[in-house]
Structure 1
Amino acid sequence: MTTQVSPRPSVSPLDARFGARFVTSLAALPRTLVRGRAGSARWERPALLGLLLATAVLYIWDLGASGWANSFYSAAVQAGSVDWTAFFYGSSDAANAITVDKPPASLWLMALSVRLFGLSSWSILVPEALMGVASVAVLFATVRRRFSAGTALLAGAVLAVTPVAALMFRFNNPDALLVLLLSLATYFTLRGIETGALKWVLWAGAMVGFGFLTKQLQAFLILPPLAGVYLYAAPHRFRTRLWHSFAALGAVIVSAGWWVAIVELVPANWRPYIGGSQTNSFLELTFGYNGFGRLTGSETGSVTGGAGGTGALTGGMWGETGIFRLFLGEFGGQITWLLPAALVLCVAALVVLRRAPRISLRRATLLLFAGYLILTALAFSFMAGIFHAYYTVALAPALAGTFAIGASLVWMKRTALWARITAAVAMLATSAWAWVLLDRATDWLPWLKFVVAALGLVAAGLLMAPPRAAWLRRLPGKWWGRATVAIALTGALLAPVAYTLETVSTAHTGSIVTAGPTVSGGMGGMGGGG
């Protein structure tokens, strides 16, 4: 469906009460985001603010170059900015003939921005960029609760420079809000495990519920790891932990169900048609086209027929399914630069924490991120229906958190030979995989892969060196450690940073967009709003 965006005739006042509860939840984040932690190093707060400022510049710079970006959603934003009925339902036009094929939560934020500042590409896209900055801040706050400032800053930086994150935080698809809400759900769950207070897991459930109102069942992929880690690590008897989990599920149902109930109960002739559905039913859209149909490939309502409607788990025009799907073609360059290293380091980190008590918050944090990463990656790998490369942005916070925590814990154990070998293997795997990904972009910066390979070899050699070796003791201060970290991180992040800079310097429009340069093995495809 294509809907043209026309100039907005008027600006309505902002409803100041909208989103009050969501804003209240953000206020619960640690004061470290603005004031720093008590007893923290003097450099921590400036470093955090510098990271957030750099992220804001990266995501906002020349943002208007993408124009209306995905005009399918921009038209709905325009409609919602001039008509409250269109705003509530997510209608594609102010006449309320039909809605977009997703719930309207992400449209609400953009429509409110347009009401405030007038219709422009900036007023539509800046909220997405700010959600990216907020996601980095939330990830920092989550990791910082039980790990060093350096670890938290690394996690935030990895998220900020992930190519697909830079793409979607500068675009108006629902994915930006989904990432922020899932990051908040992870943060609130960790607070619940830390304090044992029911209110935190209720907030976590509410974030997942609003995630459903953003992109339907995809938001629920995070529920098993959140519930599983809370049931395992929370400081209560199992019966209490189980009760809290059911209460959180109730929060999911309430925060998502109020809008669904209204849409389903209002007579069909009183509201717009539910776009993407065959029976004018949001429930049918949820469990069909945007639900189980995405897994089986038989999504009724697809404008392209998905995988041919056969239901076979082959992937069809959306790529072959299987455990290595995310590493193939254009998918790999979106998100997987650090994925091999993150998996290796995660296993090593769990070995480091093997003797920790059940309620260990360090292990709980790692399990939250790793569970979120692995389950979502497996779902994306085997879903046979419509699958676009930019969906992988949902993995970005979990990948960044897992990588940073794993690297930190392995580095702490570097006096052990097995830890040094693990770190070197992770470094070499990262460099080798970066070479493969860069080689797919045959005409783009052909020299970069050689630089990355050289840095990887040097870093691996430094990581293997015993920290108490005689020749190292003759070096001044902690020079060797800092040099090793700097070279290793440069080697690991240089290629994805280059991909990200290519992404933010390129205008992106239409319903299907990808980060980075054109690569061999890329896939095309069509599809409404995605």
Structure 2
Amino acid sequence: MTIRHHLLIFLYGALLLLPFLDNGTVLSRHEVLAAEPAREMLEAGAPWSIQTFAGQPRTDKPPTMSWLIALSMKLFDSRSEFVCRLPAALAGIVAAHATAVIATRLLSSAAGLLAGLITLTTVWLQTQARLSEADMPLVAAVTIAMAALLQPAGTDAPHASKWQITRYSVLFYGATGFGFLLKGVAPMITIPAAIIYAVWARDAWARRVLTNPFGIIVLISLLIIWPIAAYLTHPPIIHAWYMHLFGRATGELQGKDELTLISYVVGLAFYFWTIPYLILPATPAAVIGVWKSGRRWRDSRAAMFLIAWVTPFLIVLMLSAWKHKHYAFPLMPAFSVLAAYGTMVWMDSVRTPTRARNLLIAWFIGCGVTILCVQKLILPSFDGYRGQADFARRVNELIPDGQRVTLYGLGEAHLAFYLRDIPDRTDDIQLQPPEKTRYLICRQREYYDLQRGMKVERLLDGPTDEKKSDQLERLVLVRVN
């Protein structure tokens, strides 16, 4: 790929992702689960080895996404929605570049450009690169690692210098380790894929990258340093790791161990309709590419690489009791490469190269205009957490400066991020008069309980929690004297 190609991918990605990144919408609950710990790291001196939410440890995820958001907050001196989402948006552009590199090394420079642009228009990227969650940086890390396995143009794998191999090995294992620090599953994707590809394709470059000791040392360091630091900070995190790695797969997490045989069998096919949806509008190109190419494609090095990338982890996802579309995101760039190949096959069928190029330009312009219109005109209508954010802002107007609010019985409540000061959190309040005035946010159900044991003044009514219709779930701000 040329510098011009990379610049075009960057500009196209920036145009599609950055203009309406805040989009007039507040952070969703899952975004807040990464953004609030980032805020607490900066404002309250919370430990960086684990996440905290309203002052209490949050052990569900590694803290790396919160690190990225905290860095963005620090650089811009802001915690706006745009600032919180910026790391994910930039990761989306990086993932597109890495996908383009993979397609270039497997197919051609033109296919690389197509793969990068196609990636930026897909449903999965346009959805996830707008959310301050760890999935998009995870995809970028996995894609960079997979790109490092492929021999760059102009190099001779058997005679490449140790320094050159070491650089790519450190890149492969470093990206894999960084992905582990984001969600933990990255090594389960990249390492089996790399081994299968290196053996199946007899790729000397991939084999040397995999066996380089310096890269392996980098991976081991990343796999042990943070877990040790997290354990020393909060030893109970061990149980959380077990539940989220193994309990999620077996269904033990959140009581999914009662799956029926029928629901499990139906679930096996979940990703066979989810993946075609996620790669829209490129799905027809991917299908045409496979259909038109026939055996010539299936026996190629490109096919071996993409099959090795997708198949092992897809089998794990299919067998897992928990299924969700975002679990498949680290596999999506492989389908962009396939779609780029299908597009190249289609271009060969067009009468003149100029006509094919003009049609592609019109297609990507049309995709860009459509995406921007959807962002500006449609997505703001689906702002389901606006009520809670507005309630928190009204609370800020009523609470004296420096007075912290306590979230009672709300757990990791979405509105915490929109409170002026970092709140406290508790699930157990002594039903006796406090020593000083306290401000609580709770559900209406807990408010009735509080009235039986102490003097409570109801200051403000808010929305029902998590959009529930039950009035007992309505949030209220109370003052306890």
TM-score for the superposition, normalised by structure 2 = 0.66
8 Å CA contact retained: 1:103, 1:213: yes
Q: Deviations over 1:75-133 (max 9, x none)?
A: 1121122245433312224x3x2125111111111111112222221211112111111
1:323 maps onto 2:260 in alignment: no
2:66 aligns with: 107
Q: Counterparts in 2 of 1:331-480, with a 5 A limit?
A: 333-335=277-279, 337-339=281-283, 341-342=285-286, 345-346=289-290, 349=293, 351-352=295-296, 363-385=300-322, 387-408=323-344, 410=345, 463=349, 480=352
Letter in 1 for 2:237: S
Matched, 1:297 2:251: yes
Counterparts of 1:216 and 1:298, CA distance in 2 = 18
Q: Give the conservation status (yes or no) of the 8 Å contact 2:61–2:182.
A: yes
Pair 1:501–1:152, CA change in 2 (3 A): farther
In 2, Cα distance between equivalents of 1:87 and 1:144:
38
Q: Secondary structure at the match of 1:63?
A: coil
3-state SS of the aligned residue for 2:60? coil
1:170 partnered with 2:130: yes
Amino acid in structure 1 at the alignment position of 2:355 = A
Which residue matches 1:253? Answer: 220
**1:132 matched residue in structure 2:** 92
- What amino acid sits opposite 1:186 in the alignment? M
What is the one-letter code of the residue matched to 1:205? Y
Shift of 1:382: 3.8
> Residues 160 and 246 (structure 1 numbering): CA distance in 2 closer, same or farther, change over 3 Å?
same
Counterpart residue number, 1:77:
38
Distance 1:218 1:244, change over 3 A: closer
Mapped contact 2:34–2:66 kept (Cα < 8 A): yes
Q: Of 53, 56, 61, which residue of structure 1 is paired with 2:11?
A: 53
Give deviations 1:323-349, integer Å, cap 9, x for gaps.
Answer: 354416xx7533355446536634765
Structure 2 residue 149 is the aligned partner of structure 1 residue 205: no
State which of 101, 108, 124 in structure 2 corresponds to 1:141: 101
Question: Is contact 1:124–1:172 with CA below 8 Å preserved after alignment?
Answer: yes
**What is the CA–CA distance in structure 2 between the aligned matches of 1:295 and 1:494, rounded to whole Å?**
40
Shift of 1:249: 5.3
Whether contact under 8 Å (1:71, 1:510) holds in the other structure is: no
Per-residue CA deviations over 1:356-383 (Å, capped at 9, x if unaligned) read xxxxxxx444433343234444443443
Partner deviation per Cα, 1:36-93 (whole Å, 9 max, x = no partner)? 3xxxxxxxx1x54233212112111222223233222221121122245433312224
Which consecutive residues of structure 2, in runs of 5 or more, have no partner in the other structure? Answer: 386-411, 415-481
Q: 1:207 to 1:121 in 2, by over 3 A?
A: same
Matches of 1:382 and 1:503 in 2, distance apart?
35
Q: What TM-score does the superposition give when structure 1 sets the normalisation length?
A: 0.60
Instruction: Tell me the residue number matched to 1:459.
Output: none
Would the aligned equivalents of 1:189 and 1:226 in 2 still touch at CA under 8 Å? Answer: yes
Q: How many residues align?
A: 374
Distance 1:327 1:153 in 2: 27
Distance 2:139 2:45 in 1: 26
Matched, 1:506 2:379: yes
Using a 3 Å threshold, how does the CA distance of structure 1 residues 82 and 333 change in structure 2: closer, same or farther?
Answer: same
Aligned to 1:42: none
CA distance in 2, matches of 1:354, 1:127: 37
RMSD over aligned Cα atoms = 3.9
Give the whole-Å Cα distance in 2 for the aligned partners of 1:178 and 1:228.
Answer: 21
Describe the superposition over 1:365-409 as per-residue Cα deviations: whole angstroms up to 9, x where unpaired: 443334323444444344321x3333343232111012213543x
Distance 1:332 1:178 in 2: 21
Q: Give 1:252 shift.
A: 3.0
- Is the 1:178–1:219 Cα contact (8 Å) retained in structure 2? no
What residue identity is the alignment partner of 2:179?
Answer: G
| CA displacement, residues 4-57 of structure 1 (integer Å, 9 cap, x when unaligned) | xxxxxxxxxxxxxxxxxxxxxxxxxx8x4xxx3xxxxxxxx1x54233212112
Matched, 1:483 2:355: yes
Could you report, residue by residue, the CA deviation over 1:134-175 in whole angstroms, capped at 9, with x for unpaired residues? Answer: 221222233224543321111011110111211111101110
Structure 2: distance between partners of 1:230 and 1:135:
22
CA distance in 1, matches of 2:372, 2:325: 15
Other-structure match for 1:285? 240
Q: Which one-letter code corresponds to 1:105 in the other structure? A: T
Q: Which moved more, 1:219-228 or 1:128-137?
A: 219-228
Match of 1:473 in 2: none
2:26 is the counterpart of 1:67: yes
- Aligned residues of 2:122 and 2:282 also touching (Cα < 8 A): no
Q: Is the 8 A contact 1:144 1:152 kept in 2?
A: yes
- Assess if the C-alpha contact under 8 Å between 2:268 and 2:318 holds in 1: yes
Instruction: Confirm or deny that 1:217 pairs with 2:185.
Output: yes
* Aligned partners of 2:169 and 2:210 also within 8 Å: no
**Structure of greater Rg:** 2
The answer to whether the 8 A contact 1:162-1:334 is kept is yes
CA-to-aligned-CA distance 1:409-442 (integer Å, 9 cap, x gap):
x469x6xxxxxxxxxxxxxxxxxxxxxxxxxxxx
Partners in 2 of 1:340 and 1:71 — Cα distance?
Answer: 36
> What is the distance in 2 between the residues matched to 1:321 and 1:210?
30
Does structure 2 retain, via aligned residues, the 8 Å contact 1:222–1:376?
Answer: no
The answer to whether structure 1 residue 86 and structure 2 residue 86 are counterparts is no
Following TM superposition, the consecutive aligned residue runs of length 4 or more in structure 1 with deviations greater than 6 angstroms are: 488-497
Identity %: 20
Worse-superposed segment, 125-134 or 183-192 = 183-192
In the alignment, structure 1 segments of 5+ residues that lack a partner are 1-29, 37-44, 274-279, 356-362, 415-462, 468-478, 512-526
Kept after mapping to 1: 8 A contact 2:63/2:182: yes
Asked if the contact 1:185/1:205 (under 8 Å) is kept, the reply is: yes
